[in-house]
A and B are shown apart, each in its own frame.
Chain A
Amino acid sequence: MNNKIRAENEHILEGLRRGDLRVIEKVFSTCKPAVIQMVVRQGGNEADAEDVFMDAFEAIYNRLQSNGLTLDRASFKTYFIQVCLFQWSKKIRKKNRVHQVTNPAGEVQTGMEEVHEALADLDRKKIVAEKFQLLSEGCRQLLDWFISEDKNISEVALLLGISEGSTRKRKYECKEKLFRLVKEDPMYQELKFPG
């Protein structure tokens, strides 16, 4: 990788780390059309491409913020498209499509390990949000009080009119129900990095 690409990569990563809007907009203008083209060529539509693009962007940003990211094998754009391709391959499996997902550049998805966990976090969050809606109204209300409204055990116990011990037990049972539903989702297994 030449010095120009390296300098460009550093500029983009540093800009993203700082949340520089100009850099974020530049990534949009340089990468989004290529991602749309790649996803559409692989049997998806523009909405699919947009989801993949946003997930990849958020995952790269999260990874940068938590553990940093080094790009020493490819330009940022190539890396970004590879992350999108990786995310799209998961999405297409979820949709049970028969299309064979191929890497148009013929490149091995190298460097995905770094961003994989960030992508998995986003996917996990989506599955949890989806399964949360399948819980009973009582469970949803109880978890909302604990998590969204940040209430403690005694406050929730008071609202429910039961003991703190029973409240603790009920919260645990609701979570168990939710996580069982999550684990039953085939996509959840996809969140483990292949190989």
Chain B
Amino acid sequence: MIEEEWDEAVDRFLRGQMDPEESARFADRLKNDPSLQEYLRLNQALHQALRNSPSPFRQTLERINVSSDLRVASKRGWILVVVTAIALSIFAFLGIYLNRKKNSGPEALYLAYMKAPASLSPDLAPDRTGEAQSRSISFQDSVLMETDRLYINGQIDQALQLLQSTPEDLLSDRMLFQTGLLLLIKNQAGETLRVFEKINAYSPGEILWYGALAHLKQGEPSAARSKLELIPAESRWYSQSRELLSRL
């Protein structure tokens, strides 16, 4: 136990208030008194804790630590941004690649290019040209007109049935073509191709175009390509056939 008077001496020592003589006496006592040494150390710790906490050097270390942490965080942030950007680019590239691949499959191309016409025989419609009523109508034209009417009304099965019920010897190439087209609309591509084979003389561009689409529906891109390449330049399908060829 340190006496009260030594507590006063320790305080004066720590405050630098001792004169040289007192300081020398205190140093002598300190050298030979371990309990006073400990008391001094505890007082030094108390002074440091209350007066100087944290120390100026510690404050410098704290500042550098924060800025180095920020630099690391910033570096980590940049690394994260770069990695995220690379990952997103890879995903985007894969997405585009897979999407293109998906969109360039025969079935996808068929869906992209197969557009059912608004009507099958617009030239024969009496309410559009007015001509049909003023001339005699052939059997074939009357069937085509009825087929067109049914088709326009959305009665595709009935339209197909009408064409298919026509005796073979009365079937014109145009009727055969429309039969094939309706079969294609009904997703019966194999039947379409068989019907088209029976056609002798009808617009080659139409036959080749819908024939190519039927092959695509069948999953036969090379057969489709062969037909597309033959589509003549004057056909209304020419430009689309070139486009489709580039995607095959």
Contact = CB atoms under 8 A, between A and B. Distances in A.
Contact of A128 (B49, B57, B61): B49
B42 A128 contact: yes
A68 interface: no
A57 B7 CA distance: 32
Contacts of A58: 55, 57-58, 61
B46 A24 contact: no
Nearest to A33: B72
A146 B14 CA distance: 12
Contact of B46 (A19, A128, A169): A128
A147 B46 contact: yes
Given A58-B55, A171-B7, A24 B45 contact: no
- Chain A contact-residue range equals 35 or more
A28 B64 CA distance: 8
Interface residues of B, number: 28
B38 to A, nearest CB: 9
Interface in B35-89: 39, 41-51, 53, 55, 57-58, 60-62, 64-65, 68
A172 B51 contact: no
A129 B8 contact: no
B107 interface: no
B221 to A, nearest CB: 59
Interface in A123-147: 124-129, 132, 143-144, 146-147
A125 B43 contact: no
A125 B64 contact: no
Contacts of B191: none
Given A121-B45, A129-B53, A21 B8 contact: no
B173 interface: no
A181 to B, nearest CB: 11
A50 interface: yes
Contacts of B65: 28, 50, 54
A175 to B, nearest CB: 7
B61 A29 contact: no
Contacts of B15: 150
B11 interface: yes
A79 interface: no
- Of B41, B47, B49, chain A has the most CB atoms within 10 Å of the CB of B49
Contacts of A116: none
Contact of B42 (A124, A144, A172): A124
B61 A147 contact: no
Contact of A125 (B4, B11, B39, B49): B49
Interface in B1-21: 1, 4, 7-8, 11, 15
A125 B45 contact: yes
B45 A172 contact: no
Contacts of A172: 4, 7
A176 B4 CA distance: 10
Contact of A24 (B7, B39, B53, B61): B61
Interface string B137-166: 000000000000000000000000000000
Given A61-B57, A171-B7, 11 more contacts: A24-B60, A29-B68, A58-B58, A124-B41, A124-B42, A128-B49, A129-B49, A143-B50, A148-B50, A169-B4, A178-B46
23 contacts: A24-B60, A28-B65, A32-B68, A57-B61, A58-B55, A121-B48, A124-B42, A124-B45, A125-B48, A125-B49, A129-B49, A132-B46, A132-B50, A143-B50, A144-B50, A147-B51, A148-B50, A148-B51, A168-B4, A172-B4, A172-B7, A179-B39, A182-B45
Nearest 7 pairs of A and B residues by beta carbon:
A129-B49, A124-B45, A128-B45, A147-B50, A125-B45, A125-B48, A172-B4
